[in-house]
Amino acid sequence: MAKSLKDQIDDLMGKVSPGVTIGVDIGAHSIKVCELSGGPGKFKIERFGIFTLSEAALIEDEIQKPSEISEGILEALKSSGIKSRQACLGLFGPNTMTKRLNVPEGSQEEIEDHILWEAEQYITFGADDSQISFHIIGDNEGGGKDTIVAAAKNEIIESFTNVLKQAKLTAKIIDLNVIALANVMEEVLAENIEEYSQGTLLLDFGAQSTKVIVYKRGAPIFTKEIPVGGSLVTEEIQRQMGVSYGEAEDLKTTVDDRGNLPQEILNIVNSQIDQQVSEVKKNINFYITQGSAEKVEHCFVTGGSSLLPGLLEKLSIVTGLEVQRLDVLSAFQLNNKKLVENSEQLAAIAPVVIGLAMRKMN
């Protein structure tokens, strides 16, 4: 059984150690594994593996095909040449939570009691059936402790660690994907992190969901997972074109010599992007109404679905911000010639698993 979040994420934000564990990201579309070397400011991606899952192998955070997933992990490890069997496993979805809290001063025990009591109010999936962890970021100017809290449902932790066991891996660390993304962003923007700590929006466009992270004062201040992603585009192509899910995936990514999609497919993609961007806008507006003083001045995107044509331009229009791709490879060197050939795609799909691989082992 993996150690609890309380034991493993006390140093939640950004305290990392080089190359001592591998990252394992089990997503709805694919499984990714990653091994790093080096350390902060000198990280290198030594090995990266990916295995594409069949449709509905994972729905939200519920594993539907455990055998396929465990076999997929083994295949990703084999194809990448990763030998380590100690992993940092990322969790996500409706049975996880992060929350930024300001708690009163007191003894360590009093602070802990207050944090755990207050966090229970925000855990919709039941605090008694969850693992809760927190990290004190620092002192607030107006008094009290600035704290970030993470939680995950025991059932989800168990189901994900079980498929790792079947793949002969040990989950030495349990992390949350939104925290992994924030750690990667910190590394990429390290030279100007003070500027970006004034308020930065990070959007991760995945297969089944889009993660919305507002980063401010050294940690996420707002996180949200929206149930819209690239698989909805695939499903709409499948429906309108009368093809299989796999064929729809191919149609979504197959371009002509000029790099353009067929107009019929492009129309479907554009319609779905409009819906996704609209949902992102709603959540940004919700964040603003919850704390109008917490401004967002920068926007970065990542995730495999962020490669859909026209997405960045439409995001820029609705947010009023300059939208940039998170330049992961400016901070993480590729130490493998095979990876260099697919560097653009790797930079989009790998930030979560890279962030997981950054975590230190206890």
Alpha-carbon span 29 to 71, nearest angstrom: 15
For residue 138, the tally of other CB atoms under 10 A from its CB is: 10
In a domain, 328, yes or no: yes
| pLDDT tens digits, 174-223 | 999 999 999 999 999 999 999 999 899 999 999 889 999 999 988 999 99
Specify if 164 maps to a domain: yes
- The angle at the Cα of 161, spanning 358 to 68, to the nearest 5 degrees, equals 105
Domain assignment of residue 252, yes or no: no
256 located within any domain: no
* pLDDT reported for residue 14: 38
- Residue 120 domain-assigned (yes or no): yes
Residue 7's pLDDT is 46
Structural domain includes residue 312:
yes
Total domains in the chain come to 1
β-sheet with 200-205: strand ranges across: 219-226, 210-216, 200-205, 298-302, 323-325
Domain span holding position 53: 5-236+263-358
Do the Cβ atoms of 269 and 262 come closer than 8 Å?
no
Least confident of 11-15, 110-114, 168-172: 11-15
Q: Residue 295: which pLDDT band, with cuts at 50, 70 and 90?
A: confident
- Mean pLDDT of all residues belonging to the chain: 88
Asked if the structure places residue 241 within a domain, the reply is no
Domain of 64, CATH number, reads 3.30.420.40
